[in-house]
Structure 1
Amino acid sequence: MSDKGLKSDKIVSRRTLLGASAVAGGALLTAPALAQEKTTIEWKMVTSWPKNLPGPGVTAQRIVDQVARMSAGRFRIRLYTAGELVPALGVFDAVSAGTAQMGHTASFFWQGKIPASVFFTAIPFGLLPHEHITWIERGGGQALWDELYEPFGVKPVMAGNTGVQMGGWYKKDINGLDDLTGLKIRMPGLGGEVMRRLGATPVGLPPAELFQALQSGVLDATEFLGPWSDRAMGFHKVAKNYYSPGFHEPNGTGEALFNKVALDGLPDELRAIVLEACRAENGRALAESDWENAGSLKLLQDEDGVTIKPYPDDVLQALRTTSVAVLLEFAEKDALSKRIYESNVAARQRLAPWSDVAMRRFMSARDGNT
């Protein structure tokens, strides 16, 4: 669907989005002076994730459950996993058009439609999870994100975080830059462009297709998330080389999308509930991912025969240098992209010295490396 089509499709009446989904709850409020009929709001949420996928799939379901619980059943959201109502990469269009009132996904999936969207998941050698959340909440990131999606009638918010990512699964060793030449790799976002410039061939595939593609040879390598989600996907069964660091995704923000007509049409208390359920999930999911990734990393090594390998120094240096060039070129695409880039860089420049003093030095001291 073209951007023009998206802009016209977003003009959906409040009656279309909400009237059909508000049904009588059948319960009356008992009060001495007044009995007031309550209604139940029913929404659809479409996601980019396989059913109950550890990490983002669990997060999406937990948001739905929390909204129902916090609203005492007044607000119910039916979750549709990837392919059940719309394709995994069709979530943005579905929410924009009003096919679903809400989506759960990752912003870098829209790079082809909205190039600057990648900044709101992760960029190569960019912000760590706590730094990214700080940029969105305190550094002006949310206002820029809103501005970016506004032409499509979509309101984005953070909704979960899978933490620092791994570099990916490779069938063959990466011993130097020459080993990237012709490598068919799934790596979305700007990391894929960095890999392309170093000779690899990025292949765009939705999450549910990755295992089969790696097994069949459509892919020579794939990244996804971290050990918890990756082990559940089964990548270790066909590739034993697990590389780090995840230079392309130092952060893993999940994205909740709202059709703006539907969101604005909610009663104030229900709008607050769904937004706060998403916000609370950022800390909850990050803690869960860090805990489960640590456990799954050990299982991959101890039980699954996986070897954790660092990218060679010359590869990391080339990835870093190329990333700088890609980001500088990106900033020149249009005025809004440039403002997003500059805001993100300013956040990093402000936060990095504090992260260095407060965390890097502490971790070195804790590990006895002082």
Structure 2
Amino acid sequence: MGSKRKKTEKQKDFVKKKLKVGKTAAKPDNHTDTSFSSRAISLPNQSLNRKQTSDSLDDKKREEVDITHHLSLVKHHASTTRKEVLSYVEQHLPSNPSLYKNIITSCVPLIVDSSQSVRNQLSSLLIACAKNKPGLLDLHLKSIILFIHSAMTHIQPDIRNSSSVKFLAVLVDYSGSSLVRSYFIKTLKSFFTLLAWTLDDNKKSISLAITTSSATGGSTKKARIGHLLVLRKFLAVALFPNDEDLNGSKVIDISNTCMIHPLSGKYLIPSSSRPYAPLKLFAKEMKTKSSSTQNTTNSSSTGIDDGSFSLHDLSTLSTEDLETRRKVFNDVFLKPMVKNLNNFIKEGGEVGREANSILALIEKLKAETKIEK
């Protein structure tokens, strides 16, 4: 009986009801009315999408998104795009100081870029950053000088002749004090390689320098003018005292300052990070065959007998103070530089004029340090 009742109830679902005229069929219980018209509602102040044009972002967030987006294009395969990115960043330098780290880190590898226009635009960007944030290049000096030294010894003459002049000049102008304290020796040695000069007088080194210069194309006369100009600025900053520091304030001379005790300056915090590095208290020196032969003829190459430095000592020296830089220059770089500058003077023209100005600077140094000609 029960099964028959269930059977009839199930059959009701499949029975088509007869409708009267003018009557519509009853709608099922799960019917959804779709006759309404949809309208878009714009809520710009409550947008969930993070776009660089969104009004929900404040100025700092918008700057960060915008700069990050453009810095991702500095590795684009097209040189035109890389140049436009650098130009945009220069024109829209952020007010947030934390973004400058991303700018320097992303753009510094373009120092050795293959495009001349990209390198020119990067030089303009670094100058704008240095003017906008004084002391910025000092914080990133290690990474910047690494690529500059790579450019000065680059295999492509275009990069070697242009990048070394532009970017090193920027560091000399805006971060000269930090540059000469930390990288005086490396930069001078890179200049010797760039100009195909030698630090040794032996025939093997001279022939190697000539072969390397001819194989890499050498440096053009116009490029040598720029190289000598930057070299003169570099030597002027490195070998002569500056009356002002990076912030424009006067440097206090402790020796001429009245104190409670004459030796009070000895117990103050030193201006250099390694004040006793020139004493080589923790440096282990290994005697070489060349040094042993020099000991028997003139003096020790390690600077023990007469206190002079040799070419072998350059890797362990710290040049944070002015006296050490002057002594290193006089002992190692002075004679070969004067010899090669005299050869440039014989060429005449702008090259000879710049070489003569460097020799005048060297003569001024000799007069101050009382070195016999």
| TM-score, normalised relative to structure 2 | 0.30
Q: Which structure's CA Rg is the greater one?
A: 2
User: Quick one: higher RCO (CA 8 Å, sep 6+), 1 or 2?
Assistant: 1
| TM-score, normalised relative to structure 1 | 0.30
Which has the larger share of helix? 2
